[in-house]
Structures are given as C-alpha cells and as structure tokens.
Chain A
Amino acid sequence: MSCNSVKTKLSSYVDGEMSAAELQQVKRHVASCPDCYKQLEQFRGVRTSLRDLDAAPEAPSDLPDRVLRTIKSSRTNYFKFAFALAVPVLLAAMIISSRTPKPISNSDRDLTIKRQLAKDRIFDAGTDPTSGASLVHYTSFEGR
C-alpha cells in the first residue's frame, strides 16, 4: 500500500470505518512509515478536538435575559444577606472537604500502582536507551 493511498484512508481509520483487511494494511504501513505515522497523529488530534466541540453544550437562547434578571434580583437585600452567609459556609466546607481523606476504591488503587510501576520502567529504559532495558509501552504493562 502506497503512502498516498494510506493518507486518503487515515480519516476512515481514525473513525473506525474500515474493513478488517484494510485496517491491517493501513496498520502495517503506518508502523513502518514515520510520515504516515505523523499524519495519523495529526488526524487523531483533530478528531479529538472536533469531538470536544460537538460535546460542548450550546448556550440557551434566553441566556442574556436570564443573566440580566439575575443581576437585578441580586440587588435585593435578601440576596445580599444570603450571599454573605453562603460564602463563609462554602469556604469552610471546602477547607474541611480538602482535609478529609477520601476513601479510595480498589480499582483506583490498582491504577495508581500500575501507573507508578509502568512510569518507572518507561523512564529507566528511556534515560538509558542502550542499556537493553525494554522501552515498554504503557498499555502493555497496564494489561498485565
């Protein structure tokens, strides 16, 4: 498969819209072609950015009116009083919450430990690449 042919298919590859046979061909080519690999990375970045844009909620059409109404109502004494009371209460709650140790789930502990082990091995091998230590891939360690 040529570079030109692969480059036209990268978009489908990233979107998962490809037959298994084609997928293997593209994978094989990208694994041995730094140019196509780089382009694939760019595609992945663009796709993620677009997904994030899609996911962002649209502002409701009446938002400006609602904001104005809120500002007007905040001028009432009642609101000022409530606000004055709420701020210290919220601050106190935040301080207490930050100092209280939160229970950790076992899956969270697993992930923390695996990441610690993986990152140490990655950086041992990376900082001494000709030591023969294998530059493991994070997922390969995670999957153990």
Chain B
Amino acid sequence: MENFEPEIVAFCCHYCAYTAADMAGSKHIYYPANVKIIRVPCTGKVDTIHIMKAFEKGADGVYVAGCLEGDCHFKNGNTRAKYRVEQVQNILKDLGWEIERLEMINMSAGMGERFASTALEFTKKIKQLGPSPIKIINTEKHQQVAD
C-alpha cells in the first residue's frame, strides 16, 4: 500500500504520558499526527476490550503509555495495564497478527522528548509492518469492486 499513513491509538495516562504529550506540544517538539491520544485517568483503567475494539475499528497500532514502573499515581495501575497488554498480545498472536502492533510504554510527566520520540518510533515501526490485516482485506475488496 503506497503512502500508507498508519492510524495509531495511544491510551495515555493523565498523570504522565498525557502531560508529557502536553509538554512536547509546549516545547514545539514534532511528533507525527498519526497518533491519536485517548486520555485515561490511569492506564489501569484501560481494559483489554478497549484495546481490542481499537483494532476492530481499524487501528494499525495501539500503545498504552503509563507511568514509570513503581510510580503509578494509583499504586499499580500501570502494572495491571502491562498484564492486559500482554493478554491482548497473546490474543493477537493466536489470531495471526503481529504482536508488535501493540506495546506498553512507560514515561514520566516530564518526558516530553520521550513522548515525541516514542510516537515517532512507533509510527515508523507500524509503517514498516504495513496496514492492519483488516485494512488490507478491505482494500482488496474495494479493488475487486473497482475492477
């Protein structure tokens, strides 16, 4: 697929990654517009079904960005998120998807640069992986209709 621009969903914790994104913005650090941020009160609030639905709705990649390990505002929300990410990765693996499309990332509120570099690297990785299997099928279908 030429000129593929991935759609990436980032579940960002209000207390760290979201603030880091804000800081990246304030500092005018560039990060790709492919990343759509969903602010959550804590990554512990992100359930497996939320990640699954993101993929179902056509996301090419998803990442959950929580506080540094041991620094969760709610004690262990980021640890729970890590387990949930692993659970969905196992489901994706069983379904024959690349598990690299989903990642757990940790950062603190002051890491504006890290937020931007993470967004950049993740977008690059998803571009290399290509569109989600759902998008590939849909494109092929549209192609057949057009032909």
Chain B binds chain A: no
Give the interface of B toward A (CB within 8 A): none
Give the interface of A toward B (CB within 8 A): none
